[in-house]
Amino acid sequence: ECLNEHWFTSLQHARVVVESWRREYNEERPKRSLGGLTPSAYAKTLMQNQLN
């Protein structure tokens, strides 16, 4: 998705854009398949459940 939307001018530019997209995708976008949680929030609940 990210690679289809951007034209990168350098490797550094690609790193910055991809990292920004990765953070948004994992930390800000809730996923229906994860019960409305973001991937990072879902991972936290899995870790907590394993500890209990």
Domain extents in the chain: 2-51
| Residue pLDDT, tens place only, 7-51 | 999 999 999 999 999 999 999 999 999 999 999 999 999 999 998
Burial grade of 25 (CB within 10 A; 0-12, 13-18, 19 or more): middle
The DSSP output letter for 7 is -
> Residue 3 — very low, low, confident or very high, per pLDDT cuts 50/70/90?
confident
What pLDDT is stored for residue 18 in this prediction? 95
| pLDDT at residue 44, as a whole number | 94
Buried b or exposed e, range 26-44, using 16+ CB within 10 angstroms: eeeeeeeeeeeebeebbee
pLDDT band at 5 (very low <50, low <70, confident <90, very high): confident
Q: Which of 19, 23, 1, 17 is nearest to 9 (CA)?
A: 17
